[in-house]
Amino acid sequence: MFLVSNDMTATLPARSSLRLVADPGEHVAVRCTEGELWLIRDGDPKDTALTASECFTLTDSGHIELYAVTTASLRVTRCRQGGERTASAWRQWLRRLLGPHGRGYTGAGQ
């Protein structure tokens, strides 16, 4: 099963799994709200166990397999890193919009 929504809550039956995919520049946070989960990351020799109230954040691209040891409830939150690139693109768009009629707008950070 692949996760496609930005934020999601789910309950996994015992001994079932859910596969999450994190794209480049995306952070994926998994919070176990009930039960017990194992997080299995591609290329990581160690698994991570989460119990109720514990959280794990994947800060690089890759896959996580969530395995429910017991019936487990979880919340997944995705956040895409925008940073300065987004602010710069916004300023460029605003300059094009205002064009020669910019009335003195110079933009922040020039």
The CATH label, of 2.60.120.10, 1.10.287.130, 3.40.50.10190, 3.40.50.720, for the domain at 7-83 is 2.60.120.10
pTM of the model: 0.65
The domain ranges of the chain are 7-83
Nearest one of 80, 75, 99 to 24, comparing CA atoms: 80
Per-residue confidence (pLDDT) for residue 50, from 0 to 100: 94
Asked whether the predicted pLDDT for residue 11 surpasses 90, the reply is yes
**10-14, 19-23, 52-56, 105-109: least confident range:** 105-109
pLDDT, tens only, 41-64: 878 888 899 999 999 988 888 888
Per-residue confidence (pLDDT) for residue 82, from 0 to 100: 56
Per-residue confidence (pLDDT) for residue 2, from 0 to 100: 43
User: With bands split at pLDDT 50, 70 and 90, how would you rate the model's confidence at 25?
Assistant: confident
